[in-house]
Structure 1
Amino acid sequence: MLKRLARISRLLALPLTAASLAAVGLAGCSTTGPADAALEDADTSNVLIDARGVARLAPGERLSVDLRARDVVAHVAFDGLDFSRVDLAFGDEGTAPLAEVMAPLFSHPYSPLEAADGRFVITADPANIPELTADDIAALEVERMIAREHGSRAPTAQPQSINDCVEQTIYFYVDIVINDTVQSILCAHTIVVCGSTTCDMQTHNGHNYLFCDGQESWTDAKASCASQGMSLVTLNDAEEEAWVTGFASAYSTQKWWMGMNDRASEGTFVWDSGDAVSYTNWYPGEPNNVSNEDCGQLNRFYPEPGWNDEPCSLHLRYICESD
């Protein structure tokens, strides 16, 4: 996805003159000013929204991006962008301020403003993002947020040190109400997650816990814990879970691996430690095994509590616990 976005950026990263604003209008973006059809034949299905273009608007003028027009994919370069001057339009249904639409995501643990390339993508139809498979789109309909890994900046996609990093693309659905009609848009952005040996030890009720900031697959996280004579964390009751998630969230409100998994037998969840399963706290609707999710994690629904299952290959922070 990053390579595709870089190619699009090179094509679209031009000053938004009066003529190029007209081309934006053909793609579903328009201003209140006059239109110039000089670039009518330009490829306008991809639209760049950036600070330079918005700064060229006349006083009081706003940029409106119609996501219902011609399969529009809007690429938002957020560095210095005045979001308050950009609207999202949905054909005849009406418009909504971009800042208002994106506000819940801007404060989310996986905020689009954390994108590694300084931009995020929005579109009304997930089919407009070619790397999403039919299974991914089906998963989005259920989960509303998924993460997929599309490559690595290291020779392998298995982080083992601070220098080994993986690109992780986060996809969100956002629902907004315009004139009593619910409109859904998809937001996508890419972050870089890296492995590390940085772990902080805490003690609770006679057990040691390692909160490891490096992001690993579930299998590598399990191996890392085992190398310390520990297992991925087991949560035996609500009190222990509250203590663990409180500490984990102090380090990061993003997702963390725990020991719960059904890798050996689908639907039969066990703890990595081998302890009996005496307590669970799955979020409503979870676990659902969407896209072959066999490993349990915390903080998927932060700040709401509740466990979630994820593909074990995803690279997340992790928590180890002593026996």
Structure 2
Amino acid sequence: MVTQTRLPLLLVVVLATVASSTCPSDWLQGEDVCMWVSSNKTKWYIAWEVCRNMDSHLGFIESQQENDFVEGVLVALNKSEVWSGLSDLKVEGSFVWWDEEAVTYTNFADGEPSANGHTGNDTDEYADQDCVALKHSNNFKWSDEYCFEDFYYFCRMDPSEE
């Protein structure tokens, strides 16, 4: 049974599927975004490379509207944990997107990012949580995770002009 709170998110997916004429055939289209979701789980680094090989980028989210679209797709596809393109791999506690663009919108869960501000020394249990995932257990709020975990992932590209 679909709850009332999830119904609008499912409608986003249905509408996105209908409007996919400017995205590749196996991609979903939201407003100004094409999205592809993996059917397999892998590590963050591999997900980043797979997206790059498809002339796209490991998913990034720049607004609440985009976050709602991504969440709706993930709920509809029954994905539990999904990598995004956000990380603090270069500078601990300084999260940036795949292109090193500054973050203008976030949707971290309470207490996240858990590694933010940690020192990175051997006694710091959270210091190696450098890659950001959207997790069903957090209502798809963001959390920093170990990059070597196996999660689903999503790729993003701009729709082509036709």
- TM normalised by structure 1 equals 0.37
Distance 2:78 2:60 in 1: 19
8 A Cα contact 1:300 1:307, kept in partner? no
**Which residue identity does 1:312 align to in structure 2?**
C
Correspondence 1:240 to 2:66: yes
**Aligned residue runs from structure 1 range 132-151, under 5 A:** none
Correspondence 1:287 to 2:113: yes
Distance 2:90 2:32 in 1: 30
Partner of 2:43: 217
**Aligned residue runs from structure 1 range 81-100, under 5 A:** none
Tell me how far 1:226 sits from its aligned partner: 0.1
Q: Which deviations, in whole Å up to 9, do the C-alpha atoms of 1:239-269 show, x marking residues without a partner? A: 1101101101211241000011000110000
Extract structure 1 runs of 4+ deviating beyond 4 A: none
Distance 1:254 1:223 in 2: 21
**Aligned residue runs from structure 1 range 67-216, under 5 A:** 200-216=26-42
Tell me how far 1:300 sits from its aligned partner: 4.6
**Which residue identity does 2:95 align to in structure 1?**
F
Correspondence 1:319 to 2:157: no
**Which residue identity does 2:32 align to in structure 1?**
G
8 A Cα contact 2:79 2:152, kept in partner? no
Tell me how far 1:281 sits from its aligned partner: 0.9
Correspondence 1:307 to 2:142: yes
Distance 1:293 1:274 in 2: 18
8 A Cα contact 2:95 2:102, kept in partner? no
**Which residue identity does 1:301 align to in structure 2?**
S
**Which residue identity does 1:311 align to in structure 2?**
Y
Q: Which deviations, in whole Å up to 9, do the C-alpha atoms of 1:176-210 show, x marking residues without a partner? A: xxxxxxxxxxxxxxxxxxxxxxxx41011232111
8 A Cα contact 2:82 2:135, kept in partner? yes
- Rg larger for: 1
Could you say which structure has the higher strand fraction?
1
State which of 277, 291, 304 in structure 1 corresponds to 2:103.
277
Distance 1:229 1:271 in 2: 16
**Which residue identity does 2:39 align to in structure 1?**
D
Question: Pairwise CA RMSD of aligned residues?
Answer: 1.8
Any gaps of 5 or more consecutive residues in structure 2? 1-25, 116-125
Any gaps of 5 or more consecutive residues in structure 1? 1-199
Distance 1:300 1:208 in 2: 21
Tell me how far 1:291 sits from its aligned partner: 5.7
Partner of 1:230: 56
- TM normalised by structure 2 equals 0.71
Q: Which deviations, in whole Å up to 9, do the C-alpha atoms of 1:120-174 show, x marking residues without a partner? A: xxxxxxxxxxxxxxxxxxxxxxxxxxxxxxxxxxxxxxxxxxxxxxxxxxxxxxx
| DSSP 3-state at the match of 1:298 | strand
Correspondence 1:268 to 2:104: no
Distance 1:318 1:239 in 2: 19
Q: Which has the higher contact order (CA 8 A, sep 6+)?
A: 2
Distance 1:223 1:313 in 2: 14
8 A Cα contact 2:33 2:157, kept in partner? yes
Taking only the aligned residue pairs, the percentage that are identical comes to: 28
Distance 1:212 1:305, change over 3 A: closer
Distance 2:148 2:74 in 1: 21
